[in-house]
């Protein structure tokens, strides 16, 4: 009867409601992909009681925080202490008042909203710490971290890999002639074309200025050349719209193959940079793999 009354009230207050008649069924619901975050539990439930369910929920560190309101006929001080020790956020004794319940639920909603805001802020900070804000690609530090991890994997598994260093040809001329806003638009479009040209498990980062770094795990020399040429072709495929006449882009690409007994990340980067230098000296808009 209490459950039905609660369900009616909650639906009148525009809550989506999942009602179950025992603790085991509640625990099963909480294992779903998107379980409810605001919970009303009865202390006395078949199979798993409210206190044990609280303990299980708090022990599950993988899920987001859930706000628990425990309701019961128990009103002794020690019962209140036991409920909070088990992990309940709030405690309401039966019979309870409709307005008091609604007020307590609003407290839970405010706390859950604060949690969501904090999670979004944390995720935004994590993104800013690892991504280039203009292009959305991995930033220099993050892509170098990926490079070091993939090098370790390469040496451990003895599967070859490649590193590409890409430089937009005559980018300074674009900035000087059309302005930095146009230059920014060109970098963003280059990033988009780059990510569309590589494999889903390749890593693309902005290395600095108009330079980009591409880490190609599990890649033979033949595959590296094929991917580099696909990147170069995609970048030059269509002019970049700038509000006036489109700008025709091209890129020079230098690549380094990583042998299973190769040196450090700095040595690999130096080899890719040397290959890029050769591509530029040979007339730009080309690929050189060493």
* DSSP class per residue in 42-102: ESS-SSS-HHHHHHHHHH-TTSPP-EEEEEES---HHHHHHHHHHT-SEEEESS--HHHHH
Given this model, what pLDDT does residue 192 score? 95
pLDDT higher than threshold 70 for residue 75 = yes
Of 135, 115, 139, nearest to 126 (Cα)? 139
Set 150, 210, 211, 267: catalytic member: 210
Closest CA to 193 of 261, 137, 117: 137
In the chain, residues under CATH classification 3.30.70.270 are: 140-289
Is 224 strand, coil or helix? helix
Read off the pLDDT of residues 6-56 as tens digits, 9 standing for 90 and up.
888 888 888 888 888 888 888 888 888 888 889 988 888 888 888 888 898
The superfamily CATH assigns to domain 2-127 is Response regulator (3.40.50.2300)
Does residue 237 contact residue 251 with C-beta atoms inside 8 Å?
Answer: no
CA atoms in the 13 A half-sphere facing the CB of 12? 9
CA distance 196 to 237: 13
- For residues 254 and 53, give the distance between their C-alpha atoms in angstroms, rounded to a whole number: 59
Lowest-confidence region among 64-73, 84-93, 172-181, 256-265 = 256-265
Question: 3-state class of 203 per DSSP?
Answer: strand
One CATH from 3.40.50.720, 3.30.420.130, 3.30.70.270, 3.90.1150.10 for 140-289: 3.30.70.270
Query: What phi, psi does 18 have (nearest 5°)?
Result: -115, 115
CB 198 within 8 A of CB 226: no
Task: Provide the pLDDT confidence category of residue 101 given band limits of 50, 70 and 90.
Answer: confident
Residue intervals in the chain for CATH 3.40.50.2300: 2-127
Residues 6+ apart with CB under 8 A from 107: 90
Residue 109: active-site member: no
- pLDDT exceeding 90 applies to what percent of the chain? 48
Environment class of residue 195 by beta-carbon count within 10 Å: exposed (0-12), middle (13-18) or buried (19+)? middle
44 and 72 in contact (C-beta within 8 Å)? yes
Predicted confidence at residue 274, as pLDDT, reads: 95
pLDDT reported for residue 169: 95
> Is residue 235 pLDDT above 60, yes or no?
yes
Whole-angstrom distance, CA of residue 61 vs CA of residue 58: 7
Q: What is the pLDDT of residue 268?
A: 93
| pLDDT higher than 90, residue 243 | no
Residue pair 43/72 in contact by the 8 Å Cβ criterion: yes
């Amino acid at each position: 009867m209490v459950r039905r009354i609660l369900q009616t009230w909650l639906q009148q207050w525009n809550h989506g409601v999942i009602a179950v008649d025992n603790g085991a069924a509640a625990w099963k619901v909480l294992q779903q992909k998107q379980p409810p975050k605001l919970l009303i539990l009865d202390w006395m439930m078949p199979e798993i009681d409210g206190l044990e369910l609280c303990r299980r929920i708090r022990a599950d560190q993988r899920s987001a925080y859930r706000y628990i309101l425990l309701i019961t006929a128990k009103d002794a001080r020690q019962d209140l202490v036991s409920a909070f020790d088990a992990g309940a956020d709030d405690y309401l004794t039966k019979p309870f008042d409709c307005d008091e319940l609604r007020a307590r639920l609003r407290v839970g909603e405010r706390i859950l909203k604060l949690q969501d805001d904090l999670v979004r802020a944390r995720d935004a900070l994590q993104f800013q710490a690892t991504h280039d804000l203009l292009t959305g690609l991995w930033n220099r530090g993050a892509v170098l971290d990926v490079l070091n991890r993939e090098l370790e994997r390469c040496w451990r598994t003895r599967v070859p890999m490649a590193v590409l260093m890409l430089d937009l040809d005559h980018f300074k001329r674009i900035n000087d002639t059309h302005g930095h806003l146009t230059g920014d638009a060109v970098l963003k479009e280059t990033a988009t074309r780059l990510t569309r040209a590589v494999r889903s498990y390749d890593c693309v980062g902005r290395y600095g200025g108009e330079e980009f770094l591409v880490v190609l795990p599990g890649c033979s020399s033949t595959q590296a050349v094929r991917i580099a040429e696909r990147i170069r072709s995609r970048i030059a495929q269509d002019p970049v719209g700038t509000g006036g006449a489109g700008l025709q882009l091209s890129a020079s690409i230098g690549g380094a193959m990583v042998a299973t007994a190769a040196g450090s990340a700095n040595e690999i980067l130096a080899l890719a940079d040397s290959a890029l230098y050769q591509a530029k000296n040979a007339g730009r808009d080309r690929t050189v793999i060493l």
